Amino acid sequence: MEYTTKTVQLPNQVKLPYVEQGDSSGFPLILLHGYADSWRSFERVLANLPNSIRAFALTQRGHGDASRPTADYRLHDFVADLVAFMDALYINAAVIAGGSSGGFVARRFAIDHPQRTLGLVFIGSPLTMRDKPSVLELWNSTISKLTDPIDSDFVRKFVESTFVQPVPQEFLETLVQESLKVPARIWKAIFEGLLEDDSSEMLDEITAPTLIVWGDKDTIVPLSDQETLARAVADSRLVVYHGAGHALYCEEPARCASDLATFILNLIH
């Protein structure tokens, strides 16, 4: 399916590309991609969502074809952009779904703006980045030392490391090309912001109904992270995809879309 990318300019002059689909009066869902990705990582999920859901997938600052400000890549910057995006499109409240580190933005948004959070979905999202030796090793050995132009072999391996199931080759190439758009300074700045995040200590402040989805072959995020999330967030449910990897929304888009639709249907009823 071909999508027409729109662009919104926020009051802070940041321009964010996004796609929108579904009935204009449908239940609002906003999809937030992870580190170095873009809205394209949710392309296959969008294709499987029912028309009754008004779905938005946006590319966040610094990523893909979005604006690349010289600074301001901490979580509160991404949350502020999300608020401004919703204001610009007259979205009063929505279900916020975050894939991987996009879940950090989603949960910080839910903590800071509970009245605008109808529901929350974490898809392969870590509890924290600070306690993972492989993540810290990636930062110390590679990310912190990146220079432009970014090595395409590194990016390809980085993207491929999030999968254990095969994905269509054309889709994989799209994801690699999107990640190659991110300059070295932004790879570093966003990673630093993720390492600084302390929202894992505020999970009891989340009041929105929450769905936690995780693949049991995820080599980045352990089950213990998901169980801690489920215990800390009062109204939450954990769903495990057996045989799926970290970017399970790319691997099993139909199932992911179905689970999102069911979660939203339960909120309506």
pLDDT recorded at residue 269: 80
Domain ranges of the chain: 6-268
The reported pLDDT for the residue numbered 199 is 93
The 3-state DSSP class for residue 190 equals helix
Q: Which residue has the tokens 């995820």?
A: 218
What topology is assigned to 6-268 in CATH?
Rossmann fold (3.40.50)
Work out whether strand 27-32 and strand 6-9 pair parallel, antiparallel, or are unpaired. unpaired
What tens-digit pLDDT sequence spans the chain (269 residues)?
789 999 999 999 999 999 999 999 999 999 999 999 999 999 999 999 999 999 999 999 999 999 999 999 999 999 999 999 999 999 999 999 999 999 999 999 999 999 999 999 999 999 999 999 989 999 999 999 999 999 999 999 999 999 999 999 999 999 999 999 999 999 999 999 999 999 999 999 999 999 999 999 999 999 999 999 999 999 999 999 999 999 999 999 999 999 999 999 999 98
Q: Looking at this protein, which amino acid is placed at residue 269?
A: H
Which of 268, 217, 1, 239 minimizes the C-alpha distance to 123? 239
**What's the CA gap between 17 and 6, in Å, rounded?**
6
* Pairs from 224-230 (Cβ < 8 Å, separation ≥ 24): 224/127, 225/126, 225/127, 225/128, 226/127, 228/127, 229/122, 229/125, 229/127, 229/203
Whole-number pLDDT of residue 5 = 97
Determine which helix (DSSP H) or strand (DSSP E) holds 31, and give its type and residue range: strand 27-32
167: which residues sit within 8 A by CB, 6+ positions away? Answer: 250, 251
Residue 51 identity (one-letter amino acid): N
Tokens (6 digits) for 172: 């994989």
User: Is the distance from CB of 178 to CB of 84 less than 8 angstroms?
Assistant: no
Residues 120, 106: contact at Cβ < 8 Å? yes
| Burial class of residue 51 in the structure, from the number of CB atoms within 10 Å of its CB (0-12 exposed, 13-18 middle, 19+ buried) | exposed
Q: How far is CA 130 from CA 47, 77, 97, 133, 162, in A?
A: 34, 20, 22, 8, 19
* Average pLDDT for the chain: 97
pTM to 2 decimals? 0.98
Please report which residue ranges of 90-168 form alpha helices under DSSP H.
102-112, 133-141, 152-160
